[in-house]
Amino acid sequence: MTRTFAIPRLTNRSSGFSLIELMITIVVAGILLAVAIPSFRNLILSNELTTTTNEWVTAVNLARSEAIKRSAPVVVCGADGNENTGLSNGCAGNLGEVRAFQAGTTNITVVRAPLELPASVEFNKTQSLRFSGMGLGRMPDGGVPGTGGLTDLVAEIHSTGLGADSYRCIRLITRSTLTTESSDTACN
């Protein structure tokens, strides 16, 4: 009895992708990228707007808490720094900077550095806020925010590249609480 064994033949074909399969994959990836890039850009712009808004709110809340902690006036600088005395002197160029007096002196201490703004975000109608040692805020002109008028708007933050909901309106109500609203148009 003789047994024969079949010897497997070696083929020259290697496993992998053919040129046609590779070209089809590249075309599909290109189409997906063309669809995804505009959505990704809007996501980036939206995140920049949200981050900048959160940083402004953080600066205002820090100013209030520092005023309470120090039992002394503290200022958060706005772009429209129209009060040029004491803590607010020179505020206009230092958006988001938090300033306080050093204990027992008239020397100014910078508690928080100014905000770094992305190119796609603009601040409008942003005012400096002064908090008393009790944590109560007032506008640079001495007005009390939250009286039902337009004086309670402390910042309007806008993203130039977004369409819908591209404005953030930040208001100080009850002289100590911030609210943030999204809007399609400029803040009133």
In a domain, 10, yes or no: no
Q: What confidence score (pLDDT) does residue 73 get?
A: 87
Length of the chain: 188
Helix/strand/coil for 187: coil
Total structural domains within the chain: 1
In a domain, 4, yes or no: no
47 vs 2, higher pLDDT? 47
Q: What confidence score (pLDDT) does residue 123 get?
A: 86
Q: Is the pLDDT of residue 23 over 90?
A: yes
Q: Which of 177, 79, 123, 116 shows the shortest CA–CA distance to 88?
A: 79
Number of helices (H), then strands (E), belonging to the chain: the values are 1, 9
Q: Is the pLDDT of residue 28 over 80?
A: yes
Helix/strand/coil for 130: strand
In a domain, 13, yes or no: no
Please check whether residue 134 is in contact with residue 148, taking contact to mean a CB–CB distance below 8 angstroms: no
Phi, psi of 56, rounded to the nearest 5 degrees:
-65, -45
* pLDDT tens digits for range 121-143: 988 888 788 888 888 888 766 66
Rounded distance between C-alpha atoms, residue 146 and residue 20, angstroms: 67
Residue 128: exposure state from Cβ atoms within 10 A (0-12, 13-18, ≥19): buried
Q: What confidence score (pLDDT) does residue 60 get?
A: 92
Phi, psi of 76, rounded to the nearest 5 degrees:
-110, 125
* pLDDT tens digits for range 52-62: 999 999 999 99
Q: What confidence score (pLDDT) does residue 13 get?
A: 62
CB count in 10 Å sphere of residue 139: 20
Band of pLDDT at residue 150, cut at 50, 70 and 90 = very low
How high does pLDDT run on average in the chain?
82
145 vs 73, higher pLDDT? 73
Domain enclosing residue 175, as ranges = 19-183
Please check whether residue 49 is in contact with residue 162, taking contact to mean a CB–CB distance below 8 angstroms: yes
Band of pLDDT at residue 37, cut at 50, 70 and 90 = confident
Please check whether residue 172 is in contact with residue 60, taking contact to mean a CB–CB distance below 8 angstroms: yes
Q: What is the CATH number of the domain that holds 177?
A: 3.55.40
- Label each residue of 144-177 as H, E or C: CCCCCCHHHEEEEEEECCCCCCCEEEEEEECCCE
In a domain, 40, yes or no: yes
Q: What confidence score (pLDDT) does residue 103 get?
A: 73
In a domain, 5, yes or no: no
Q: What is the pTM of this model?
A: 0.75
Band of pLDDT at residue 85, cut at 50, 70 and 90 = low
CA 74 to chain centre: 22
In a domain, 142, yes or no: yes
In a domain, 11, yes or no: no
Q: In this predicted structure, which of 78-82, 148-152, 161-165, 174-178 has the lowest mean pLDDT?
A: 148-152
In a domain, 188, yes or no: no
